[in-house]
Amino acid sequence: MTTVRPDDLTEVLNALDSDDSATGPEGGSDNAVVARPLKAAPSVSDSIFRSGSFLAGGITVAIMLAVGLFLTLRSGEALSIAGLSFFWEQEWSPESGSFGIVAVLFGTVSIAVVAMIFSVPLALGTALLISEIVSPRVRSLLTTLVDLMAAVPSVVYGLWGVFFLQEAVIPVAQWVSAYFGWIPIFAVTDPDGARLTEAGAFTSSAFIAGIVVALMVAPTQTSVMREAFSQAPVGEREGALALGSTRWGMIRTVVLPFGRGGVIGGTMLGLGRALGETIAVYMIISPIFTINWEVLSKGTNSISALIALRYGEASQFGLSALMAAGLTLFLITLVINFTASSIVSRSRSGAESDG
């Protein structure tokens, strides 16, 4: 057996290095090493796609900034006269110089909170049913029905709420008030504080309007959550089941953690629509301009309903006041959306799952 010495290996390597340097590009060798660029030139289709994406994003941001600028300029006159009292004054009488946003803002938030209480569990359960429980054929049918519900006009929901849902919900509201009226928000009283039980005191409330809005936003929330759940890795699902987990255990440890971002995004998307819903709320509520802490009792208001109610008969200064109300709702919606984006970015779907 021949033994190779280290000195022999060193001589061979030096000879190879000298050959490579001698037969480089100047030597005309076919085996010359040529540096290849690390960055390939983009194709025409990639360039068109990238330019179109930047253009679409720029147009969207420009439109949003234009809307904010328009509302700011048009509301400047009213805000300069009302001052900071605009944010705590309950009355709405721009012609007399006494107007504020606090009452309608409270009504807007109360309706949206009631809507989220009903819509989020409904949307979450429906999304899990579609993505995890039913067969593929039934899944396709339910997905189509949910998408069709999201396309129903809001005026249809409003008519349904006025002529059917309100009559059906009033007995439920009376029962809640009778057994939980010791909680201030569930009490229904007159101005003197006496308990009211007749059906007329429970109509056109934030509770009924919130249920209608919940049914309007639930399909959108369901679609977002369903898409997030359906992207959960099949390997992790099968691994959990193979280790003896039940179906609910697999959903709890794999699907729900993976779809956390979708749940948050769908909830915030529904909240943004609930805050800005106009026609359905306008058809159901009985507008008032005082803070009503009793969500089951008659009378509430919202910013969008206020604008729809007063826009046609408003004076020039009244329009400026309505623009100020719209600017407030616009800013609130932006804050909610940016908050949701930051939460979702920190909780990306699939980032982690419970072991």
pLDDT-derived band at 124 (thresholds 50, 70, 90) equals: very high
Residue 17 lies in a domain: no
Residue 113 lies in a domain: yes
Whether the Cβ atoms of residue 292 and residue 300 lie closer than 8 Å to each other: yes
CA distance 236 to 234: 5
Q: At what angle do helices 303-310 and 102-128 cross, to 10 degrees?
A: 120
CA distance 287 to 310: 11
Mean pLDDT value across residues 13-35: 54
| Half-sphere exposure for 313 (CA within 13 Å, toward CB) | 6
What CATH number corresponds to the domain at position 135?
1.10.3720.10
Domain that holds residue 192: 104-315
pLDDT-derived band at 5 (thresholds 50, 70, 90) equals: low
pLDDT tens, 178-210?
999 899 899 898 888 888 888 888 998 999 999
Residue 133 lies in a domain: yes
pLDDT tens, 313-331?
888 898 999 999 999 999 9
pLDDT tens, 79-115?
888 888 888 888 888 888 888 899 999 999 999 999 9
Residue 119 lies in a domain: yes
The pLDDT, as a whole number, for residue 107 is 92
pLDDT tens, 234-280?
888 889 888 888 889 999 999 998 888 889 888 988 998 898 888 88
**Encoding tokens for residue 275?**
């805050």
Query: Which element (helix H / strand E) includes 92?
Result: strand 92-93
Q: Quick check: 350 pLDDT over 50?
A: no
150: left (phi over 0), alpha (psi -120 to 50) or beta: alpha
Percent of the chain with pLDDT over 70: 86
The pLDDT, as a whole number, for residue 36 is 66
Residue 353 lies in a domain: no
The pLDDT, as a whole number, for residue 83 is 84
Residue type, 296: L
pLDDT-derived band at 56 (thresholds 50, 70, 90) equals: very high
The pLDDT, as a whole number, for residue 96 is 83
Residue 108 lies in a domain: yes
> Where do the H-state alpha helices sit in 186-315?
206-230, 234-242, 247-250, 256-258, 260-276, 279-284, 303-310
pLDDT-derived band at 349 (thresholds 50, 70, 90) equals: very low
Residue 236 lies in a domain: yes
Shortest CA distance to 185 belongs to which of 163, 206, 216, 155?
206
The pLDDT, as a whole number, for residue 353 is 44
Mean pLDDT value across residues 303-321: 88
Mean pLDDT value across residues 40-50: 81
CA distance 336 to 341: 9
Looking at every residue in the chain, the average pLDDT score rounds to 84
Residue 218 lies in a domain: yes
Count of the separate structural domains present in the chain: 1
